[in-house]
Chain A
């Protein structure tokens, strides 16, 4: 199946480039003075966070279009973006505390940003659970779309909270009004990493989409469970 092959290639390239980002981040990027080596987690944590949120927004957008057009391709895409988004969100939630422990002295705090990232994760899990709880494909797609749209609308409120609460979480230094405060070499590494995560998101979603399609074929023939 061609789409599957394309997806696998993109993912493979992404993983290879990920390795190069690793090398660059670990050996060829300067160490940040006050935080030490642990700061380098930033190069993985932030791009993953960006795509974790983007994926949810894309789930929402495709859900809106699905409700208007009832095109199953949009539903397949939504399901795929949700699954991939969950993975990236898991990365944020694990690398965050690992970074936080040496810097702030604690694995977890119920500060706004952390809490809401946790709840982004719960949004994803809820979405996947809802999908698995509805056997009828048309109803599943409709319900998932409703939840997806609500989830997407929730994201800005999650974002806004960073600026409302006093927090341990560092204020955004790359995505902020004005020029990024990150010095040259670090910025390059970060951008490279963002590119890799973008590629991986694409590769994963394409593969997951193809998988959805394959399963639908099997479902139609009466073979097995769920797309």
Chain B
């Protein structure tokens, strides 16, 4: 099967993307600033006697996550288009699906770097939630950004298109995180983890099949 070649090429694309981003460091910087701002805003916005940190934590976490994901997605394809390297990639003898997978992996690593969650006891399930939600977001987001980047109002259109696709995984993730941080037993969270996993499998598969249609000349 052509899987090994697909993955190798995907990895090549991913490493290229990551390398470019680390060198420029702009996305990382703006995301870091955003995280700090969010933390400050939420901290000063609440009444410490009425609202505990634990109640707000899920919201903070996932707001930041969402924003970072959208930023990352926009940048990935924007860079490509600016440098016209997308054409270069298309000419190269690698499959379209590899490009998709490569960008997906790069975006995943990217988004995963923006977290600082001080909740060690819940770390494993939380990481699982974040990983699953990330895959869902980025799967759909990478696919859509490939389309919107060629349209008018590209930056406006991407979030609008993404919104309905982000809500199910996001709401499951936030609900699960809330339960998790409140100390509920793991068995309650499993249902949501399953939903997220199913969502991911469906949309990653779908996106891999649909990606060629977005870059066909």
Contacts and interface: CB of A to CB of B under 8 A. Distances in A.
Direct chain A–B contact by Cβ atoms under 8 Å: yes
B140 interface: yes
A119 B210 contact: no
Given A129-B157, A133-B153, A133-B157, A122 B164 contact: yes
B30 interface: no
Interface in B6-26: none
B214 A126 contact: no
Contact of B203 (A112, A125, A150): A150
Contacts of A147: 144, 147, 161
B167 A119 contact: yes
B204 to A, nearest CB: 12
Nearest to B157: A133
Contacts of B150: 134, 139
Nearest to A143: B147
A146 B213 contact: yes
Interface stretch (A12-20, A153-161, A200-208, A216-224): A153-161
Interface string B151-170: 11100010011011101100
Contacts of B79: none
A134 to B, nearest CB: 6
B191 A146 contact: no
Interface string A126-142: 10011001100001001
Contacts of A146: 143, 147, 210, 213-214
A125 B165 CA distance: 13
B210 A130 contact: no
B137 to A, nearest CB: 13
Given A129-B160, A134-B151, A153-B206, 9 more contacts: A126-B164, A134-B150, A142-B214, A143-B147, A143-B213, A146-B213, A147-B161, A150-B203, A151-B164
